[in-house]
Structure 1
Amino acid sequence: MTILETLKLATEYLEKYNIENARLNAELLLSDILKCKRLELYTSFDKPLNENELQKYREFLKRRAKGEPLQYITGKANFFGLEFIVTPDVLIPRPETELLVEEIINSLDKNISMKILDVCSGSGNIGITLAKNFPASFVYCLDVSEKAIEIGNLNAKNLNVENISFQLIDILNQIPDEKDFDVIVSNPPYISFEKKDKLQREVRLYEPHTALFVDDELKFYRRIIELTDSLLNEKGKLFFEIDDELVDSISQLMKEKNFKSIKVKKDYSGLNRIISGEKSK
């Protein structure tokens, strides 16, 4: 069976299970198996697939048809032009989070040395991307999951990033030893358990719940903002990814801690997604 014939059948199979962008999914899964770029499939339509390739492809398609995210099947996800290893132990990096990183890059001087703290670092996508873009700075990443710390370290090694460290810390109950940060960034859990059933099945069934859900949507924001007293330098910058519905509450928490120059940025859907501010006396 040729690549073209296989893709046609695979697309029809995924469509039957209501997988969005079925053709794109079929192509990405096959290109992963063949270790080629997706566009290279188009120049090899007449190439036949061997039985091992077909068998592995069938397994991938079955997993995708059940709703398992494509990134967990291939074990990788793209973020800000970089390829990250991802497993069900960490969240899949989102395009909206690229806006958070972009906002930080556009707000700060790449040439000065800074201490940057990434709270709830997951796969390390935020911290590693910042370390890449701020080579004179050092990024400290914190997460409560041992598996996430392992994956973060592995991603840093694979992407040749040395100005970064990962530490196992429960930020809700512990305080980092390191202090005097110039920047704190976080994309913490902020979805209430009550909203769980409204999420896509890919997210609800496969992504780590500890990285998604909380009993109090403001829990992490409140804690991190409180810790800025001891962790963040004067005139230091704080950046959060947020839920649109939380913008007023988080803004108020920041104002109560004397943050100024508070800015809110919308995502691609026009929803409030990024909030930032500067610490003052």
Structure 2
Amino acid sequence: MKAKGAPAKKWTIADTLEWTAGYFGKHGISNPRADAEILLAHALRLKRLDLILKRDELLNEKQLAQYKELIGKRQSRLPIAYILGQSEFMGLDFKVTPDTLIPRPETELLVEEACDYIKKNKSSLVLDVCTGSGNIAVGIASFVKGCSVYASDISIEALKVAQQNIDRNSLSGRIFLKRGDMLGAFINEGLEGKVDVIVSNPPYVSAPEMKELEPELSFEPAGALYGGEDGLDFYKKLVSGAGEYLIKGGAVFVELSSTRPGEIASLFKKSGFRVDNITKDYSGLERVLSATIRGK
């Protein structure tokens, strides 16, 4: 290995993993062993379990060169998902690029909550606002048969990635992408008063929080993270326009900023919504808000 501190010797899979985990740990990378395994499995075109079964096998020069390149990228704090060009969400594989946010495990809770509601109420028309890679739209359409999803994003590059994820999941007949600023993307679609559910994971990082983000987040699109000075800009836009599209009793599901759940709930209440539930994620943080439109 060329990286500083590596001994000159033949490298087995076990030795390579041990050294890389230590190297990543010294450079402040979270989950150093897991990252080492994921990258080596990718370089060798193996499953992670195979690394254990083949632990004493030697890497050839080409494999070492490929792996060292991956180590360098990760050491620079480039996220694993961008290195691999893909990420798992809801058990589905998604293409991701630096034009899209990397799907988060906590966002699966948003999709699960929305899917439960859609199934229970036999909803047929869903809007996904700020779709990014399309993971929410694809997740809903994959797990709820019979519903259609209109998904919007202001970034044309993100929409290109979303379309690829729609195509790879054979959902092009049920998910329809529209470019524009949040709900404004649907203004010419004739959807006013017809939508059962609106789902969104909007940008919600505040200005002070942007200055304290982990290094990995500097590689993700700032426009998909920054929610204005107080982190609430996109929630305000959503609540101001959602009522125009929803049917009577229609619902909104949003991912919450864990630092401002109360303020977001107040925005909905002041805009004619009944807040039905706030669900905590597996870390105990308030993560998903569901609300129903009043007075229609």
TM-score (ref. length: structure 2): 0.89
Equivalenced residues, count: 280
Q: Which structure 2 residues correspond to residues 258-269 of structure 1 after superposition, within 5 A? A: 258-269=272-283
**Rounded Cα–Cα distance in structure 2 between residues aligned with 1:126 and 1:174:** 17
1:22-80 deviation per Cα after TM superposition (whole angstroms, max 9, x unaligned):
11100000111222221121111122222222111101101111111111111111111
CA contact under 8 A between 2:12 and 2:55: conserved in structure 1?
A: yes
**Rounded Cα–Cα distance in structure 2 between residues aligned with 1:58 and 1:236:** 52
SS of aligned partner of 2:101: coil
Partner of 2:258: 244
TM-score (ref. length: structure 1): 0.94
Q: Which amino acid aligns with 2:280?
A: K
**Any unmatched runs of 5+ in structure 1?**
none
Q: Which structure 2 residues correspond to residues 176-255 of structure 1 after superposition, within 5 A? A: 176-178=187-189, 179=191, 180-203=194-217, 205-216=218-229, 217-255=231-269
**Rounded Cα–Cα distance in structure 2 between residues aligned with 1:215 and 1:111:** 34
**Rounded Cα–Cα distance in structure 1 between residues aligned with 2:30 and 2:126:** 37
CA contact under 8 A between 1:85 and 1:151: conserved in structure 2?
A: yes
Q: Which structure 2 residues correspond to residues 149-160 of structure 1 after superposition, within 5 A? A: 149-160=159-170
Partner of 1:28: 38
CA contact under 8 A between 1:111 and 1:134: conserved in structure 2?
A: no
* Alpha-carbon distance change, 103 to 224 in structure 1, aligned in 2, over 3 angstroms: same
Asked whether 1:257 is paired with 2:268, we answer no
Partner of 1:18: 28
Taking only the aligned residue pairs, the percentage that are identical comes to 39
**Rounded Cα–Cα distance in structure 2 between residues aligned with 1:131 and 1:172:** 19
* Alpha-carbon distance change, 113 to 213 in structure 1, aligned in 2, over 3 angstroms: closer
CA contact under 8 A between 2:183 and 2:241: conserved in structure 1?
A: no
**Any unmatched runs of 5+ in structure 2?**
1-10
* Alpha-carbon distance change, 111 to 213 in structure 1, aligned in 2, over 3 angstroms: closer
Partner of 1:166: 177
Partner of 2:50: 40
CA contact under 8 A between 2:152 and 2:185: conserved in structure 1?
A: no
**Structure 1 residue 175 displacement after superposition:** 4.8
**Rounded Cα–Cα distance in structure 2 between residues aligned with 1:83 and 1:196:** 28
